[in-house]
Amino acid sequence: DAQESRGLGDVYKRQVFNFIRKMKYKLALVMSVLCAFSAWTEAKVKLPAILSDGMVLQRERPVKIWGNADKGENVTVVFKKKKFSTVAGEDGKWLVELPPMKAGGPFEMTVNDIRLKDILVGDVWLCSGQSNMELTAGRVTDKFAEEIARDENPMIRYVKIPLGNDLHGPKDDLPGADWMSLTKETAPSFSALAYFFAKEMYRETQVPVGIVNSSWGGSSVEAWMSEEALQKFPRQLHERDLFNSDEYRELCNRSGQMMNRFWDTALYKGDRGLHDGICWNRPELDDTDWQTVDMFSKEWGRKNGYPVSGSHWFRQKVNVSAEQAGKEAVLRLGCMVDADSVFVNGISVGNTFYQYPPRIYRVPASILKPGENLVTVRLINYGGAASFVPDKPYCLAWGTDTVRLSSRWKYQLGCEMPARTNSVSFQNVPTGMYNSMISPLRNLAFTGALWYQGETNTGRPNEYEELLAAMIIDWREKLADKELPFFIVQLANFMKTHSEPVESNWAALREAQRQVALKVPNAALAVAIDLGEWNDIHPLNKKELARRISLLVKRRVYGDKKSVHSGPMCTGMTVNHEGKAVLSFEAGTDKLWAVDELKGFAIAGADGHFQWAEAVVVNGNQVAVWHKDIPHPVTVRYGWDDNPVHANLKNRTGLPASPFQISLEDK
């Protein structure tokens, strides 16, 4: 039996061995097939993210289609029944150029086995800048809700370029890019300015419009410039070098996130309003011993004369009728500095984490009750002075039926904190945005570029003209279009108006923008000096701004020489025998609107001391400016303030003049 068992064991061993050997062979065969399949899949042609379903290609210009594949791979592009072939180079890159095409579509395109659908040919616009370009149509619904809610146009397409700020060098591709048609569902996510501009362009041309929005809130002009463009600006390049380490950037981001988390945790632990027996948002809390304050006063939220960071609690009772209580309401709380959590009758209705968005919170009918309703605001300030922004809506609303909130609130400090440490703003680091958000677009053709940026650079306005001019020239070179039309949005009026002539960084930056438009060929300036809001860096009226840009486009791109394209643009100054400065303006913008009293002009002699001046339109196209105590004027300023609300120089079409500074020595 033992011998038989050993014999059977040997048989089993041989069978197991043979089985394993066969399995190894099969496994090796499977692995070979998988490797071959992997190699085959890797050899497939790849397109950049911007070339995808729903895209718009530039009409009447050669169109580049490009991508990657294995070295030597044959690539065939078929579009509109025409075939274009090439071979991937040593680096795996390939490119074919399609001939200029008329507007039309939708079309399909195949690139080897890739199929792209719903492609249009029309006018493509590059829109870039900071938050006023990035600001969505959803943020301007207070002014344009009905229009945005009803609009649909499959001939208008939009793509938002993903945020990125790589400092290592220009990138060839994006992490993703989704083209979308204009529908009622997508309209709120469009850039507000781009949304209205695209509609103006379609109305003018009746051809498809593509918007490529490459913008990032808070970004500086240097961040949108390539290393080549910054060669004359060593300080900016050295600033880039400070952050050109992935390890350091990660440490900055991690430390910033940690400090914010620690700050938030300390605030939560120390906030009496959250831990003092009854939470301060509860209706049953007795707040009779709380201080009563005016929400717009600068007196609350201060200690020993200095603003207090941390949490500030506000409570107010609002009377609601039985009919109102039975319907959903909207609670409008303007804007606050910085963050907030809001409660109605102790129930959370919304929160916002930074200062700029309007506070618009839905209040379900189930929360409201007839009679008194408690509104509680926990306002969190990260540093500086906490505040409610004046001249904003503060009310409960049921359509047009509103109950205004009082400016008087019960107030209590919840927790005093040190100011929160600011983290590094990498969207300001030179070259970062260009590398990640412009370089991957360099093979595209554009009708023109719209630029709305400058707020971040107002601390250094004297260098802006040279920086922006260098950026425009470099973009044109990188995009292989030396004549690319470039439309600059001048900064809108913002902040308080001064009663006496002042030095203003905002005015100085506007002048830099104006000088670029005057000096750089095929650049133009859209004036927005009357479209701003003193209490909001993001003014709502992007529709009129888009119309003004469209007037410039009609003249510069589409050759309309008949319509007035701009407000008065000052180009020269002389002094007459009476000692008055006589200003002249760009032809075509200089049929001036005569008013009883021109305002907003200041004049200075050789000492550079400015005083408000008298001014009048002369000869229908010039302005005479003078001051009785300045017999020899040297420099004239117009609209030279952060918010020059009284400036009223316009032409007969009603378009406002650009703010400016001009001197006798200016040519």
pLDDT digits (tens, 9 = 90+) for 245-292: 999 999 999 999 999 999 999 999 999 999 999 999 999 999 999 999
Task: List pLDDT tens digits, range 156-214.
Answer: 999 999 999 999 999 999 999 999 999 999 999 999 999 999 999 999 999 999 999 99
Phi, psi of 131 (to 5 degrees): -65, -30
Task: Kindly indicate the confidence band of residue 502, based on its pLDDT and cuts at 50, 70 and 90.
Answer: very high
3-class secondary structure per residue, 182-225? ECCCCHHHCEHHHHHHHHHHHHHHCCCEEEEEEECCCCCHHHHC
Task: Kindly indicate the confidence band of residue 35, based on its pLDDT and cuts at 50, 70 and 90.
Answer: very low
% of the chain beyond a pLDDT of 70:
93
State the Cα angle at 65 between 59 and 70, rounded to 5°: 175
Model pLDDT, residue 667: 53
Please state, as a whole number, how many other Cβ atoms lie within 10 Å of the Cβ of residue 601: 26
Range 99-118 average pLDDT: 98
Residue 41 scores a pLDDT above 50: no
User: What pTM, to 2 d.p., does this model score?
Assistant: 0.92
Which residue shows structure tokens 């300036």? 525
CB 259 within 8 A of CB 420: yes
Which token pair is 486? Answer: 């470039």
Which token pair is 9? Answer: 């064991």
Task: Kindly indicate the confidence band of residue 17, based on its pLDDT and cuts at 50, 70 and 90.
Answer: very low
Task: Kindly indicate the confidence band of residue 553, based on its pLDDT and cuts at 50, 70 and 90.
Answer: very high
Task: Kindly indicate the confidence band of residue 665, based on its pLDDT and cuts at 50, 70 and 90.
Answer: confident
Range 534-540 average pLDDT: 97
CB 600 within 8 A of CB 646: yes
Of 561 and 404, which is predicted with more confidence? 404
Q: Is 539 helix (H, G, I), strand (E, B) or coil?
A: coil
Residue 28 scores a pLDDT above 60: no
Model pLDDT, residue 23: 55
Model pLDDT, residue 424: 87
Q: In whole angstroms, what is the distance from residue 569 CA to residue 161 CA? A: 34
Task: List pLDDT tens digits, range 117-131.
Answer: 999 999 999 999 999
Report, in angstroms and rounded to the nearest whole number, the Rg of the chain calculated over CA atoms.
31
Range 583-590 average pLDDT: 95
The beta strands (E) that lie in 112-194 are given as: 114-129, 153-160, 180-182
Residue 518 scores a pLDDT above 50: yes
Range 457-462 average pLDDT: 98
Task: Kindly indicate the confidence band of residue 24, based on its pLDDT and cuts at 50, 70 and 90.
Answer: low
Q: Is 662 helix (H, G, I), strand (E, B) or coil?
A: strand
Task: List pLDDT tens digits, range 438-448.
Answer: 999 999 999 99
